Structure 1
Amino acid sequence: MGRVLLAAVAFAGVAGTGNGLMGQDVPLAADFPEVYRVGGFDAPEWAEFAVPPDVRFDAAGRLYAMEGFLGSGSVVVIDTDGTLVRAVGRPGEGPGEINRPTGFAVWRDGRLAIADMGHRAYQIFGPDGEFERFVRAGSVSDPLGGAGSMGSKLRPDPAGLSLIAQGPPSGVGALTDLFGELLGAEAPGEERVDDRGLERLDLRGEAVSREPILEGWRPSTAGAEPPELSLDDLTEPAGMLTMMMSGQRWFEPGFLWDVLPDGGIAYSDSTAYEIKVTDGAGRAIRRLSRDLHPEPVTRRIREEVRERRLRDLEEGSDLGAGFRAGSGGNEIPAGIREATTEAMRTQIEDREFHDVIPVLTALRATWDGAVWVERVGEEPWVEFGPIDVMRADGEYVGTFAPGATRMPDAFGPDGLVAFVELDELDIPSVVVRRLPVKVR
């Protein structure tokens, strides 16, 4: 099926009636009782998270946590009382052993898929945690094995053994193409999407079958065209960074999305307060909106954003602990660190700005089908903005005040939600709470 160009479709339905749709918030109380927590300073060995884990729920309320690329690679399954059920997979090279995972997805019945870049495949595990099989990510003629498109933004397809995945950023795609050219890879024989689109990954065969579902609106890149780089640039960290970040502008509207329980998709792709809802095939059925509008990017905002990011870079927070220390604790050579820091400084100083600040910054679907959408804060660099809760049919429920709650990292059955937190020593823990019925 070809890509569904939703921008050209007339959407059926309007956001529902009720207070709040004209821009006035209806307050919601963020009183979510704690169910349990795992991790932290005194955690048992199985809950000693080295890096903040990704988390998912199954229909039984069990929580699945995986540290990802820089972590152990195992998926820890946690029962509803916070005790260990099992660990799925372990680091290694064989079947059922995980080698450089980039993401994972859990179906409601507990079946699990792990995107394993090291194996260049998706590993499938049954509800009992037993390894079932590999599904190759690419064709035999592709030396990269499709690894360039194995991202972390995966959701299980409620309709069957498929994943809904966001494509890789265009800069990463260009970098992958250069690596492929270097290794003699053939051009992909199937249509693929980038980070402004979604595709369905069918995992029923020996190799992944890809089907584009939808393509979001793409902001104009006038004045921010990416430079043309050659294979020689792959030998320089600064060149690779330039390729990956080129063409990006501050406040460029993101592509925010999640999968609804019926297989439909809720997504936002512009600066406006507009959430588009589709069926499982990507066909538009309605839109959700409020009378809130993007603010212009002023000179003060431009100067403040650059100053803050340059200060973060000098303090090392923009590089990230994994890069500063190196994977497995090996120190990154000083020359590479310095070159990369200088390339990032240049990117910050030269990066262009979008003309307005998008209204929405995050979007998640709950287990029961509501949509939580986070709005930009009073200042665009404020970490947490207000969060609106809307039904998928368009009914506005209300708004959590800025800072009252973060966006949950996972939504589960019976109102369960999981938050990944860091203590004063930056040690991760996972806190599971329960939402009131009104906002599920």
Structure 2
Amino acid sequence: MRLSRAFLPTLKETPAEAQIVSHRLMLRAGLVRQTSAGIYAWLPLGWRTLQKVEQIVREEQDRAGAQEILMPTIQSADLWRQSGRYDAYGPEMLRLKDRHEREMLFGPTNEEMVTDIFAQFAKSYRDLPRNLYHIQWKFRDEVRPRFGVMRGREFLMKDAYSFDLTKEGATHSYRQMFLAYLRTFARMGLKAIPMRADTGPIGGDLSHEFIILADTGESQVFVSKGMLEMDPLAETPDYDADLAPLVERWTSHYAATDEMHDEAAWASLPEDQRVSARGIEVGHIFYFGTKYSQPMGLRVQGADGQAVVPEMGSYGIGVSRLVGAIIEANHDEAGIKWPDAVAPFKAAVINLKPGDLSCDALSERVYAALGTDGIYDDRDERAGRKFADADLMGHPWQVIVGPRGAAADKVELKRRMTGERHEVSVEDAIARLNG
């Protein structure tokens, strides 16, 4: 993408309504624009990042054996009446009627719908286990939407739903998602900490939130230092193995949100092992047994010929929320510092002297080598503006092309995350960026 032709409306000043870092930087860097309270349009730079986050989520769900579907956003109120949640859910649910006066709703979650869909397919114990997921826009009418995409009314969410014949099978499905979540967030450059959580309106008796630490986090969290030193990507993703030891290894460390905090257990830890910080929830997993399958009439025939009510779990990741959370964990005073895996572009080529034949030729050469993963600042702007915009947008690498370097067939490489700079040959720069 050439910056001279790009639709990237950056802002010099921060809008007054932006209260947290990610909201300010997403507006200033031209990732999103608010269209109404808690609802945002995703512009090209933000959309590319959102797609990369979504793809990592999808890959790890597929790796864990979940199968992708896509369910409607508009659901029938009758489904929710079957589960007993239609009246209990509260004003966050957007209720509406179609032209035939049938009561409908804009889905905030999909336990009822997926149970109904699965019930039409599953007849025998041979049809289980299954795990179905989709990545879909949802709506919850928050009373006070704030913090940009971190607490919006419309949001992109991955929600998965497992169906098992027994509690033991359902627990294994839960552990598979536990591992998938550890790997998903680690691949995005995030340290996500699993914390035992309240099940809330979803229901059930087993639940973990996945929390990343950030100074501007929405809640206070308490974590054993040992957990912060664990590496999720060191885990071998053998999803058919017994995952109980893996989950036990992670949950044996103390980790709790304010709501679940045990002061006595916390006090028993050595003082140098206690980390008290702010945290942002990026994922939540639940095992809730037959809470939905029972009232909605989901039955399969067991091996003994008797009817069995399948055990269920659900597993959510806030995909659009993750974009804000990544920024909260990776920024400085100049702007965003994208981890490589989710950056909208891997590198920005900065031509310090457009119109200079050697600078233009070298910039075009590097830009062509980067393919669709490069953005070329070919604007007739002063160097300071170009550097400021590149830092604001947060591209992991900056390839700086000036007349002196171009004469020697060299460029300056700047690593955004660390600020390190090195002058290298063009061949070395291309090899490093495409490696």
Q: TM-score, normalised by structure 1?
A: 0.22
Larger radius of gyration: 2
Q: TM-score, normalised by structure 2?
A: 0.22
Considering fraction of residues, name the structure with more helix: 2
